[in-house]
Amino acid sequence: MRDSERNAYLLGFASTEQKVPEREEALPIDPDRERLPLVGLMVDAGCDLSGTLAADRRVRILPLTIQWPGRTVLDKGTSEIRTVSRQLSHERIRTAEVAAPGVDALSYRMHPHLAMNFDGMVLLGTHRALVQPGNAVEQMLRMHHEEIVQMRRARHLIPDYVFQVADTGSLLSGPALLARLLLSSPELIGGNIVALAQRATELAQRTEVWLAPGHPGDVALTLGRLDRPELQPWVDACSPKLTQIIHRYPVLSCKGGQFASESRAAKWKAAAAGVLDAAAQAVIDGELLHPLLQISFDGRIRELREWPEFAALKEVATAHQVKVHVTHMSLGGRVWASAQSLSVALIRKPR
């Protein structure tokens, strides 16, 4: 290829490479929406969602604000943000704070096309003790209610737009597991937002998240700043007390919204193995309500797959026809759970 032809090719290729816009874009309207409303799922950026699920047309990610001394980052849940976050040291992460986005920022990115692209939305937010992003979305929609109604009527859509927050009582890999299940649910496919929110609440009551924090002292510091009584079991378990010097790494859990400490280990790898073993035991005992496990890891997933404990879990899961999904931990998740952490989520059958 001649230099002139090569340059022309590169210029043509570059002209087609466009960054994905931050703002919500208007999508073509399906005429069937008058008969079958289109319902979507929203998760906040602290959810350890996979790239495949994040790219689903029925999913939207609600950004979160990550604040360091002298710097603020808007985490939009993109793979670029997660790549950058994995390069940050745990000393840097421990100084960060996670907050819900401002109403003005949401209005710029999500209004008004979000209300055009869907007829209803259910937010699967992170545990309310950590962050409450749903309040900002609800306020944004109230502020623009009249405009939304007029625009929907002009496009021959049902005027009312329904937004509901499902209290997942979960975090990290938990909301990601709920989103994976609900995307294939008949409630979402049929456009029944009320039933979808109810289904999400029912699943949330059975959802368990197990966590091996990489730096327990960071968890105690970060969650202790929030001063929420629900988080106290994790804060106490991660606090550097004299009685915990030998077994300094806890195995933590959040079951149906209740935080607890399960056990302790002398090394982090042993605590992480305990988390994987707990998931494997639930599979062996036939206690999973749905044959899915969601794992999020703040590290190299390739290395995780080489662990004997992970290989044992995969073998057990395959034998019982249970699928195991692995994702990188979100930036917000790193702040709450500390760097180099491992999280596993499952939904247990009622006893």
Asked if 124 and 234 sit in the same domain, the reply is no
Final residue belonging to a domain, choices 145, 169, 203 = 203
**pLDDT tens-digit profile of 171-223?**
999 999 999 999 999 999 999 999 999 999 999 999 999 999 999 999 999 99
Note the pLDDT of residue 160: 86
* Mean pLDDT value of segment 240-262: 85
Note the pLDDT of residue 3: 47
Number of domains in the chain: 2
Asked if 75 and 148 sit in the same domain, the reply is yes
Residue 304 above 60 pLDDT? yes
**pLDDT tens-digit profile of 76-93?**
876 666 666 666 777 788
Residue 18 above 50 pLDDT? no
Final residue belonging to a domain, choices 203, 228, 254 = 203
**pLDDT tens-digit profile of 57-75?**
999 999 999 888 878 888 8
CATH number of the domain residue 316 falls in: 3.30.1180.10
Asked if 239 and 138 sit in the same domain, the reply is no
Which residue pairs from 200-205 have beta carbons closer than 8 angstroms and sit at least 24 positions apart in sequence?
200/122, 200/124, 200/166, 200/168, 201/166, 201/167, 203/178, 203/289, 203/347, 204/166, 204/167, 204/168, 204/169, 204/170, 204/178, 204/256, 204/257, 205/169, 205/256, 205/257
Note the pLDDT of residue 16: 31
Give the residue numbers spanning the domain of 96. 31-203
Asked if 198 and 331 sit in the same domain, the reply is no
- Inside any domain, residue 340: yes
Looking at every residue in the chain, the average pLDDT score rounds to 87
Which residue did the predictor score with more confidence, 346 or 152?
346
- Inside any domain, residue 10: no
Asked if 276 and 130 sit in the same domain, the reply is no
Residue 4 above 80 pLDDT? no
